[in-house]
Each structure stands twice: as C-alpha cells, then as structure tokens.
Amino acid sequence: MRRLLNARPRGGGRLLLGLLPIAILVLLYLVASQARHAENPRDKILPTPAAMAQSMEIMALQEDPRTGEIPLVADTQASLTRLGIAMGAAALTTLVLGLSIGLLPYARAGLGPLVATISVIPPIAILPILFIVFGLGETSKIVLIFIGITPFMVRDLASHVGAIPEEQIVKAQTLGASTWLVALKVALPQAMPRLIDSVRFSLGPAWVFLISAEAIASDVGLGYRIFLVRRYLAMDIILPYVVWISLLAVVIDLLLLAWSRTAFRWAHTPGGRR
C-alpha cells in the first residue's frame, strides 16, 4: 500500500475531485433552500435558483425607469472604471518607485522608510480623511484603492528588483550600460512579470476597498447595489451579484496571466539553472 502522500490523482479523476466539493456545496444550498421554502413559500434568506434568475432578469435586461440605465451594466461599468484607474495608477507608481528603490541606493535610503510607514496604515482607517479631502465623488474611492495596494506592491517589486544578481548589473555596466539603460533594459523587463503577478494578488484587496468605499458613499456600483438591496433582504439579487463579482475577478486574473505568459515567455519557461 502506497503512502497517502505519494498517491496522486490523474487526468479526469483530478478534475472530478476538484468539482466534487463545489457540487456538494451547491447541492447543500438547494436542499436547504427547498426546506425553507417548504416551510415558508415567501422565504427571502435562501432564494431558489428560479427566483434569482427572475430578479437578475430585471437587473440585467431591463432599464431602470428612474435612471434609464440597465442596473447591472451601469454598476459593472462604474466599478470596473474605478478599479481600472486605481490599478493602472498603482501599477505605474509601483514601476517607477519599485525600480528606483530596487536599483538606486539613494532612492532606497530616501524612500524606503516612507513606503514602509505608509504600508502599515490600515487604508480603511483613512477613508474618512479621503472623503473629507476629496469629497464623496469618484476620486476618494480611487484613492482608497490606490493607497490600499500601492505600498505593498512597491515593496514587493523593490525587493524583487533588488534581488537581481549583482553579477548581471555589473555585467551590464561592463557592456557600457548607463544607470538608465540598466533600468530600462535589464531591470524593467525582469520586473514586468513580477509586477503583473503583484497586480493579480492585489486585485483581492482592491475589490475589498472598492466595495467598502461604494458601500459607504456612492450612487452606482456593484458594492453600492448589494448594500442597497440588503435593506430589503434581497438575497435573490445579492447572491447573483457576488457570483458576478467573483466571475469578473477570475476573468481579470486570467487575462493578466495570459498577458504575462505571451509577453514574457522567458519568465514562464520551466528549466534548471539559468
């Protein structure tokens, strides 16, 4: 008998094994929902799939008579715009600061402590400050996401760039590279796959900050909507919205991974020593 830690699932079995827990969870939900509805046909806590589909039809296909927009489309657009601008600004800032701190001893000495200090501030705690300074509009939400994720990303990228072997940096200099060219041609391309990874990992916290900000002060957005309909115990809208948000997160993650794999193939080829 082989040890358990040496037994490996293969091919189809592996896929089946992965789907099993998900199927069990879905089944449990259906059973529980059924049970509650048997007792009380107007139960709102565990809506049936049919009820969810019906509510989403209203949210995703019909215009809101007040605004003239389809709620799901408007919410998605608003949230993704906020998220996109914040992530873009964070990635750009990370690239500039991370490369500088990772490569230049003067930048490390000057900016390292500042970034380290900012990264320990809990972002939600300064949300009131952001609302006071930037108002309740788009800016404060975008800035919250930006402040929430950038310090971590900068530190991650700086340590990655700092870990480029000194031999490479010296070699580049013996080939005539200036500080600028070392940054542009040696450090930047090697930093990019890590930056994309870092954006992927930061998307989780970014969604948290986005939904928090939307929950507190907004009039459109995915987070705004689920906190709005919570007042009516509208689980038939909240649950599909959560699924939709998760789906968006997965798709963004896969797109970033695909970009990294095609644009930086060298970083993804497995292989022994370099």
Residue numbers at the binding site for another protein (CB under 8 A): 165, 167-168, 170-178, 180-181, 184-186, 189-190, 264-267, 269, 271-274
Integer angstrom CA distances of residue 118 from 64, 150, 178: 42, 9, 31
First vs last Cα of the chain: how many Å apart? 39
For another protein, the closer CB: 68 or 165: 165
Q: How far is the CB of 165 from another protein (least distance, A)?
A: 4
Name all contacts of 113-118 with Cβ < 8 Å and 24+ positions apart. 115/151, 115/154, 115/155, 115/158, 116/151, 116/155, 118/147, 118/151
Q: How far is the CB of 191 from another protein (least distance, A)?
A: 10
For another protein, the closer CB: 51 or 182: 182
Q: How far is the CB of 186 from another protein (least distance, A)?
A: 6
For another protein, the closer CB: 104 or 215: 104
Integer angstrom CA distances of residue 227 from 54, 77, 113, 234: 20, 17, 38, 10
Distance between CA atoms of 67 and 149, rounded to whole angstroms? Answer: 33
For another protein, the closer CB: 44 or 265: 265
Q: Kindly report the length of the chain.
A: 274
For another protein, the closer CB: 139 or 173: 173
Q: How far is the CB of 152 from another protein (least distance, A)?
A: 24
Q: How far is the CB of 181 from another protein (least distance, A)?
A: 5
Main-chain phi, psi angles of 188, to 5 degrees: -55, -50
